[in-house]
Amino acid sequence: MPLLCYFQQFTQRSFGEQPDAATQSVDKSRYNLFNPTPCGQLRDFAPDRPDQTEGPFTTDAGHLQVEVGIFQYTYINQPQRFSDIRIQGYQWLNTAIKLGVLNNLDLELFVPVYNEVDIKQGNLKTRMSGFGDLVVRAKLNIFGNEGNLPVALGFIPFLKIPRMKMGWGIGPWRAASSYR
């Protein structure tokens, strides 16, 4: 049902139908994981790609949002005085799964399915590949979640769980938080 609601919302907005002004002013604080936000009151889709488009907006209560990045390429060239370091990174099927728990709180799981990094320094080349580190986080929107204010603020505590072999990835477990 939640997936159908998002599909309906996407198709309505894609073909020019605008939501009612009355739906925008509804108090959604009563909705939660077990009492989902009705389809007619859903917010606009707000994707979260870590380190690319992280924002303060949460997924509507009782709904699941899944995002998949098919392929990502990164190139870094760091010329130095005595050596030239070049890094190429490839990521396949990075997946973000978000579950709306309350109107202003969601739980998120980021699963980098497969990563590959080539590092070249002079004539030495190293290749590392494998599954990426899991990121589990919660996002709490402080204000502006409905898009009715010119600014929005969110708090995002997270935990990185290592799955990579030692030598790359984050190594030990790591927890932190950020504001967006």
For 119-137, how does the pLDDT look when each residue is reduced to its tens digit (9 = 90+)? 888 788 888 888 888 889 9
Residue range 114-123: average pLDDT?
86
> What is the distance between the alpha carbons of residues 44 and 9, in angstroms, rounded to a whole number?
8
* Weakest mean pLDDT among 21-30, 130-139, 171-180: 171-180
The total number of residues written for the chain in this structure: 180
Is the model more confident about 33 or about 20? Answer: 33
| pLDDT band with cut points at 50, 70 and 90 for residue 12 | very low
CA 99 to chain centre: 11
Structure confidence at residue 81 (pLDDT):
64
Structure confidence at residue 23 (pLDDT):
43
Residue range 16-30: average pLDDT?
60
> What is the distance between the alpha carbons of residues 161 and 131, in angstroms, rounded to a whole number?
12
Structure confidence at residue 24 (pLDDT):
53
Q: Are strands 174-179 and 124-130 parallel, antiparallel or unpaired?
A: unpaired
The pLDDT tens digits for 44-98 are 888 877 656 778 999 999 999 998 888 989 898 877 666 678 889 998 988 999 9
Question: Which residues, including other chains, have CB under 8 Å from residue 156's CB and lie 6 or more apart?
Answer: 54, 137, 138, 139, 140, 177, 178, 179, 180
Any idea what the Cα angle at residue 4 is, between residues 104 and 72, rounded to 5°?
A: 75
pTM above 0.85, yes or no: no
Is residue 19 predicted with pLDDT exceeding 80? Answer: no
| pLDDT band with cut points at 50, 70 and 90 for residue 164 | low
DSSP per-residue string spanning 120-143: EETTEEEEEEEPPPEEEEEEEEEE
**Cα distances (Å, whole numbers) of residue 15 to 1, 9, 10, 11, 167:** 21, 10, 9, 6, 49
Is the model more confident about 178 or about 168? Answer: 178
Q: Mean of the per-residue pLDDT values for the chain?
A: 79
Per cent of the chain over pLDDT 90 is 31
Q: Are strands 153-161 and 174-179 parallel, antiparallel or unpaired?
A: antiparallel
